[in-house]
Structure 1
Amino acid sequence: MSSHSVRDPDAAKGVGFGLVAYLMWGCFPLFFALFEGVPAFEVVLHRIIWSCLFLAALITLLRRWAPVRAALRRPGRLGRVLACAVLIGLNWGIYIYAVETQHVLQASLGYFLTPLVNVGLGIVVLRETMVKAQLAALGLATVGIAMQFVLLNELPWLSLVLAFSFGTYGLFRKQVALDGLSGLFVETLLLLPAALLVFAWLEIQGLSHFTQFPRTTTLLMAAGVITALPLLAFAGAARRLRLATLGFLMYINPSMQFLIALLVFNEPLSPVQLGTFALIWTGLALYSWSAWQQSSAR
């Protein structure tokens, strides 16, 4: 039996896992729009608390405590993990705020920008050498953001914070020797004490929405499971697919958010914003073509 026929079923599973992960992430605006009247920071608190509990149960079920214990035995090396935790917490908070304030278009723009931010961070921080197509892609994205700033006299700050927080999270995450499941658990575990303290303060002050209505309680608890499930599917895809294939699947998430913003939430799209998206889409096409060429050459 050829190696090609052995690999195909595994690759098909990988694509299936990848589609599940990115489709779930793409539908996040529909889920977080249900938290009407609950401040974004409170949703993040419960996302941390219930993610941590759900992941602990999952790690116990899968018997994956060894890498977690190894990481916690070396507190001196948890600095980067803490940085990852703060960045992902910031990203979650800004994203939920964008959904609650009906700025899903800006959120989708942020996640379209993320791969190009990664290219920029690679050049500036890691001193990586980029091919001309990747530099051109970065230039197009910069022109798109500058065009919005000049013509509309405003920066899409939500998009930029989402892109840079997630891009920097990826930069630190690459330097942490933990798999996706263990890494997310340790990150939420580091944020858990602060989340519990703020939750307790909200309860004492009578400001907590957790016990107001059974529906809100259920949604806040479900936020933890909803956070972990696409990550597990993504881990299954990452083990089976090439990075270039994963890169193409990644655009499903912001594309779905873009369509949801227009078709479900009826957010307005000005010609200038459309021009910004068009420049960034062109940049992403260049970047993806370049990444595919490099992957094929290897």
Structure 2
Amino acid sequence: MDNEWVVIEIDMPGRWVELAGAVVAELGAGGTVVEERQLDTFVVPDEDLDPEKSYCLKVYFEEIANISSLKETIEQELAELPALLAEQFNVSEPKQVHMEDWAENWKQNFSTMRIGSRLVIHPSWEDYQTENGEVAIEIDPGMAFGTGTHGTTMLCLKTIADLLAADNPPSDMLDVGTGSGILALGAAALGCPKILANDIDPLACRVATENVVKNGYQDCIEISSQPLEELPGEYDLLVANILAEENIRLKNDFLEHLRPGGWLVLSGILREKESLVRQGFADLPLESYPTEFQDEWICLLYRRK
């Protein structure tokens, strides 16, 4: 569907927007908009959402084999959630939209933001002059996700910043599911000299490449669309900001790409799924560190023994 996406609208109370977003993400949604406020790859409600107010959650899909059954599938998945048994929500019929129409909506609520003490992320329509050791990344929201605004992205960036500021920082990094390339760009800006950013989505690779070139980090960031299991080499740092179940499915591939003493950062995980992921990684030779939280999301840090 070159340049064409499918959108479905779900009307529901603000308190359930995040839960519904996690459900549609697992169904393959490329992203969401709450009314006209854009959210990131994994859905989390804006702090201004009223739990009792009804909102329109717009859900976008890039490739759907059977569009006619999409509405029914979403309704069934939502109906199976115990929390929603007594709730009233409406799911619209799917319709097609242009990529550019959606991408323009991002500009309404994305502005310059700071991650940690040094990293600044800003869109192209806002100038930013760095000072006092700051480093800045220019990145615009679009169809490949990741601008730093989502809780999971913030958690990953903060963890990356802490590791790179410590003694013996990682000398290279593998970014699994890079999306817009934001985590790779953040690591490069903070001093990581060699980064491989991996994503099997061609659109994500194209957008990530554009962002890398725009920010001038093409000498230290390589973009790859190869499946993870086909990638060569081991790394000091591996970051995967993907869904909980995908983290578990890829755990052995993660280990194969992690040097002894290397750091593993996992996010894209709802709080309620922490034990699921912890149990999934329990049989690997990894030392675990305390969980970091933001909103309803968590970030797990491990180190290979």
For Structure 1 versus Structure 2, the TM-score category normalised by the shorter chain is under 0.3
Query: Which is richer in helix?
Result: 1
Query: Which is richer in strand?
Result: 2
